Amino acid sequence: MAVARHGAASAAFKLFLLTSPLAIVVVLSLGVGSLMVVLFGYTSDQKAIAITKDQVKAHLLAVRLYRDQIPVVMGSYGKVLRGTGRYLKLTFKPLLYVIILITLLMVQVDRYLGAAPLLPNLPFLLTVHLPGQTSDALNEVTLVLPPEIAMTAPPVHILAENAIVWRLVGSKEGSYEVKIAAAGQSAAKAVRVGNDLTRISTVRLRGPFWERMFSSAEPALPENFPVESVSINYPNRDIEIAGHGMNWIWPFFILSMVAGFIFMKISGIRI
Amino acid sequence: MCLLALCAAGLSLLISCQHARGGAVRFRKVIVLGVDGLDPDLLTNFMAEGRMPNFARLAAQGSFRRLTTSIPPQSPVAWSNLITGMNSGGHGIFDFIHRDPKNFQLYFSTSRVEGPKHNFHLGSWVIPLGSGSAEQLRHGKAFWEILDEHSVPNYVYRIPANFPPITAKGKTLSGMGTPDLRGTYGTFTFYTDDPTASLGEVEGGETVLVEVKNNRVVTNLIGPDNTFRKNSPPSAEPFTVDVDPLEPVARIAVQEQQFVLKEGEWSGWVSVEFQLMPLIGSVKGICRFYLKQTHPRFQLYVSPINIDPRNPALPISTPSNYSSDLAKQIGEFYTQGIAEDTKALTAGVLDDKEYLEQTHSVLAEHRRAFDVEFPKFHDGVFFFYFSSLDLNAHMLWRLTDPQSPAYDAALAARYRSSLEEFYEQIDQVLGEVMPKIDDNTTLLVLSDHGFAPYRRSFNLNTWLLNNGYIAVKEGAGGDASEPFANLDWSRTRAYGLGLNGLYLNMRGREHEGIVEPGPQADALLREIREKLLEVRDPKDGSRVITRIDLASEVYQGPYARTGPDALVGYNRGYRAGWKTILGAFPAEVLEDNTNPWSGDHCIDFTKVPGVLLSNRRIEAQAPALTDIAPTILSEFGIAKTKDMMGQSVFQSR
């Protein structure tokens, strides 16, 4: 009986984790905060950092103790500055590893927590941008919609932005593809309608991977396809904390710093 | 033995609960549906026609009475009577508009919003040293304050004359009297590229000329006056409209939001944040867009910028987060007191079809709020206010009145039944309430006044001028942009202000008063009253004014002498003219009212009673608005306060 109860509680907790963005942010922040400290510890010269920090502290102490002896104070300030420079040099490489890892991680997490899927029966906008000033080509771009997605207004051709905007609406939950046809070719844009926590790509772009990696979660548009980008105005996903909605990045930033600080004290890693 | 002990414990618990409420009766429910402008004659007709089955059932099973309205029968006055159980002498609200007798500054009667008293000037910036304030000007205790004192739970939705909402334990949302973000009763903006359009400010709105360049319009939403800047210029936030070159459709981009509208479509609520001072001061509002036309002329209507219920710039609810909680449940909603944009219809910016769409959306919001809140009600008092019948009777009366100068046969053929449809919707709401009525529930359905046609305008100030009671400065005409600007106060004995107010230029009260209080004032009032009652309409010989009530005879309480000295009661079909109510002097004393605002109630109070229906037998044969607060209190065993004039309508008199 107890085992069954434990199993049910465990399943409920897993479900909570899977469905609650706040729970995900909390768990992720704690894990990432600790991981940052571990990574820093492994990639840094801990002994040298410890010596440098101790030396800087000693020189700061000298400034306080000998404040009536100007030459000593000035000399100590110089050593503090040199020590700080040495500290920055020692932490540059490990911080770089941490920053690269965190950035890549945040980009991926933002795909899930940055935007919410489109709600059924609520209109959304799909915008196609064409490169350069090829306003004639605007008239040649058309959409092919799946049966679950409908167009609720004629497209707006915006010459000033070389863009076309369609107002669409999804009738039921699901993952769909809208085909954009132009100049005899076509490409698809993923559309997610629903209320779940899922990976969302707000835009599909042309160009090499490193130009797209921060903003798009979809493959590049075909190279010779006459469309520069296809975007959807997914609603922002807010994390509710004490009745206030906010982007996930704020609680993540604070909680991961707190977790990192605590883990640093526990593990003895010096930063 | 055990059973006996259990009973004793239960009894003691009941007594202690009773005690906790200060003696009030527990587990009683009072539901009040306050339907502004519900007219007894129309209701009787619609019930007879079978269009309002729930009202008919309630009238048959319980009681249906005409409810004596306030003097004058204006909504802020009438609802204040209901709220406090006192008349204007007690609560101090006499009209929509009051004046400061010392300088003739006009102000909204029910509330005052002021900026900080002290500021620090830094170049073109103004740094406030303190915060501003919003003050409610209605006096007297509201019935829900007394309920709070006796721990009776209560909910009060959009009752008029409660802005800013008074401190309350229960949930309240302010109603009529709540300003828009610009501090007005509602100012729409109309954007057009039509150079022949009349530009600038109109009553309740503003027309802005825009340029459509490369199918794009770049213009500004106009926000509240920026008190952080010298001379407080209006704040503005840019927005862009991209019009399709061929199709009647446009994309509108406001801050980070964008949406597409077809011609003839309304947007949902759009949030806009007005930056007043970088990093320090900003206010949030919400507005709706209506794309009236794209080609050949660009025409875009933007609703008044409402206070954002999720981030209210001024207090609009108790507790303060209630407006936000409600918005989470039903979406954003109109927070301005008078949400129906009658001014846009009057200005011709919206036509009848568009106005009806807008006003239906207002009622839909109220019904969504009702559907969310009513199921939560289990104990105490539930008050819910509906504005739709009042505003739409004002605007749609002409469609059923061939004698109205604003009657249009084609429009009437199309929209004649529109007002009935609003009545039917209120009947549907009652249909949702009726099944919840049990033996412990008292239901009151009431209105503050009825309705009458408004065909002819009587310009009281012009009449006073023509009859020698008002004198203008030599060489000046009577009319001016400022109220009473050209008056020679040293020779003016009386003036009209507001919809029913007649004031004497009283020595010691008005800045340059010349009429001595006492016998001289009384004689002058009697003289004017006799003359006004004799006024006949040259068009058909009808009496224009059927009664004049003297403040000294009809008002009791500490504020009885702070308002008008007499209240002009117009005959059905007549009302004070649009300009005279603000202190102007049109050429004619009587003129046709061609305004779509074609129904009214600001007349002789005996001609526009409201309604009172209940599931219980109403003993009072002539109940009045001032009886409602004592009635509600009485249902919980709470004695009325000594200031309250009325008594429970369920008591025989």
Check pLDDT > 50 for residue B7. no
Same domain, B47 and B175: yes
- CATH, range A123-232: 2.60.40
Same domain, B357 and B252: no
Nearest CA in chain B to A160: B214
Burial of residue A159 (number of CB atoms within 10 Å: 0-12, 13-18, 19+): middle
ipTM for the complex shown: 0.83
The pLDDT, as a whole number, for residue A203 is 96
Check pLDDT > 50 for residue B193. yes
Q: Look at residues B599, B620, B642 and tell me which one is the last residue of a structural domain.
A: B599
| Percent of chain B predicted with pLDDT > 90 | 85
Q: Is B262 close to A153, i.e. CB distance below 8 A?
A: yes
Same domain, B58 and B151: yes
Same domain, B175 and B32: yes
Residue A232 has phi, psi (to 5 degrees) of -130, 135
Residue B103 has phi, psi (to 5 degrees) of -135, 5
Give the residue among B160, B144, B162 at the shortest CA–CA distance from B36.
Answer: B160
Does residue B351 sit at the A interface (CB-CB below 8 Å)? no
Q: What residues of chain B lie within 8 A of the CB of A167, using their CB?
A: 259-260
Same domain, B639 and B649: yes
Give A109 to chain B, closest Cα distance, Å: 22
Comparing B281 with B355, the larger pLDDT belongs to: B355
Q: Is A157 close to B261, i.e. CB distance below 8 A?
A: no
| Residue in B215, B245, B251 nearest the CB of A165 | B251
Radius of gyration of chain A (CA): 26
Give A119 to chain B, closest Cα distance, Å: 14
Q: Look at residues B313, B340, B375 and tell me which one is the last residue of a structural domain.
A: B313
Same domain, B487 and B526: yes
Give A208 to chain B, closest Cα distance, Å: 28
The highest-confidence range among B15-24, B390-399, B482-491, by mean pLDDT, is B390-399
Burial of residue B169 (number of CB atoms within 10 Å: 0-12, 13-18, 19+): middle
Give A171 to chain B, closest Cα distance, Å: 18
Alpha carbons B191 and B292: distance in angstroms, whole number: 10
Cβ atoms of B422 and B43 within 8 Å: the answer is no
User: Does B12 map to a domain?
Assistant: no
Comparing B289 with B17, the larger pLDDT belongs to: B289
The pLDDT, as a whole number, for residue A10 is 62
CA B453 to each of CA B379, B582, B611: distance values in angstroms, whole numbers, following the listed order: 40, 21, 18
Comparing B575 with A137, the larger pLDDT belongs to: B575
| Residue in A125, A159, A166 nearest the CB of B215 | A159
Q: Is B262 close to A243, i.e. CB distance below 8 A?
A: no
Does residue A156 sit at the B interface (CB-CB below 8 Å)? yes
Check pLDDT > 70 for residue A67. yes
Same domain, B480 and B576: yes
Same domain, B376 and B410: yes
Cβ atoms of A112 and A200 within 8 Å: the answer is yes
Where does B137-269 show beta strands of DSSP type E?
154-159, 171-174, 188-192, 200-202, 205-209, 216-225, 234-243, 249-254, 257-262, 265-266
B340: domain CATH number is 3.40.720.10
Check pLDDT > 70 for residue B11. no
Query: Which helix (H) or strand (E) element contains residue B20?
Result: helix B2-20
Q: What is the pLDDT of residues A8-17, one digit of tens each?
A: 666 665 555 5
pLDDT band at A2 (very low <50, low <70, confident <90, very high): low
Alpha carbons A263 and A34: distance in angstroms, whole number: 6
| Percent of chain A predicted with pLDDT > 70 | 92
Q: Is B242 close to A155, i.e. CB distance below 8 A?
A: no
Check pLDDT > 70 for residue B419. yes
| Residue in A157, A161, A233 nearest the CB of B244 | A157
The highest-confidence range among A16-25, B52-61, B580-589, by mean pLDDT, is B52-61
Give the residue among B481, B508, B493 at the shortest CA–CA distance from B583.
Answer: B481
Q: What is the pLDDT of residues B622-632, one digit of tens each?
A: 999 999 999 99
| Residue in A154, A158, A161 nearest the CB of B247 | A154
Amino acid, single-letter form, for residue B387:
S
pLDDT band at B127 (very low <50, low <70, confident <90, very high): confident
User: Mean per-residue pLDDT for B177-181?
Assistant: 95
Place of tokens 């229960």: B170
What single-letter DSSP state applies at residue B620?
A: -
User: Does B80 map to a domain?
Assistant: yes
Same domain, B187 and B171: no
Burial of residue A158 (number of CB atoms within 10 Å: 0-12, 13-18, 19+): buried
Same domain, B531 and B478: yes
Alpha helix stretches (DSSP H) within chain A: 2-19, 21-43, 46-65, 70-113, 135-138, 209-212, 249-267
User: Which distant-in-sequence residues (6+ apart) come within 8 Å of B446 by Cβ?
Assistant: B32, B33, B34, B35, B38, B67, B82, B610, B611, B612, B613, B628
Q: How large is the angle between the packed helices B628-635 and B75-84, nearest 10 degrees? A: 30
Q: Is B251 close to A153, i.e. CB distance below 8 A?
A: no
User: Mean per-residue pLDDT for B404-414?
Assistant: 97
| Number of domains, chain B | 3
Check pLDDT > 70 for residue B157. yes
Residue of A118, A141, A156, A247 best to disrupt the B interface, most CBs of B under 10 A? A156
pLDDT band at B281 (very low <50, low <70, confident <90, very high): confident
Q: What residues of chain B lie within 8 A of the CB of A159, using their CB?
A: 214-215, 245
Nearest CA in chain A to B294: A156
pLDDT band at A241 (very low <50, low <70, confident <90, very high): confident
Domain with CATH 2.60.40 in chain A: 123-232
Q: What is the pLDDT of residues A254-263, one digit of tens each?
A: 999 999 999 9
User: Does B18 map to a domain?
Assistant: no
Chain centroid to CA B92: how far? 16
User: Does B393 map to a domain?
Assistant: yes
The pLDDT, as a whole number, for residue A135 is 65
The pLDDT, as a whole number, for residue B203 is 86
User: Mean per-residue pLDDT for B397-414?
Assistant: 97
Does residue B260 sit at the A interface (CB-CB below 8 Å)? yes
User: Mean per-residue pLDDT for B32-52?
Assistant: 98
Same domain, B168 and B30: yes
User: Does B15 map to a domain?
Assistant: no
The pLDDT, as a whole number, for residue B408 is 97
User: Does B468 map to a domain?
Assistant: yes
pLDDT band at B14 (very low <50, low <70, confident <90, very high): very low
Same domain, B442 and B393: yes
Check pLDDT > 50 for residue A136. yes
* pLDDT, averaged across chain B: 93
Q: What is the pLDDT of residues B234-261, one digit of tens each?
A: 999 999 999 999 999 999 999 999 999 9
Give the residue among B631, B52, B158 at the shortest CA–CA distance from B370.
Answer: B158
> Buried (b) or exposed (e) across B8-33, using 16+ Cβ within 10 A?
eeeeeeeeeeeeebeebebebbbbbb
Give A218 to chain B, closest Cα distance, Å: 23
User: Does B217 map to a domain?
Assistant: yes
User: Mean per-residue pLDDT for B485-513?
Assistant: 95
Scanning B217-256 for CB atoms below 8 A from A yields 242-251
| Residue in A123, A156, A160 nearest the CB of B244 | A156
Q: Is B245 close to A159, i.e. CB distance below 8 A?
A: yes
The pLDDT, as a whole number, for residue B119 is 81
The pLDDT, as a whole number, for residue B478 is 55
Does residue A233 sit at the B interface (CB-CB below 8 Å)? yes
User: Which distant-in-sequence residues (6+ apart) come within 8 Å of B109 by Cβ?
Assistant: B76, B93, B94, B95, B96, B97, B98, B137
Scanning B436-495 for CB atoms below 8 A from A yields none
Task: Supply the range of the domain harboring residue B187.
Answer: 181-313
Check pLDDT > 50 for residue B5. no
Check pLDDT > 50 for residue B2. no
Check pLDDT > 90 for residue A187. yes
Check pLDDT > 70 for residue A52. yes
User: Does B126 map to a domain?
Assistant: no
Alpha carbons B533 and B340: distance in angstroms, whole number: 35
| Residue in A123, A158, A243 nearest the CB of B251 | A158
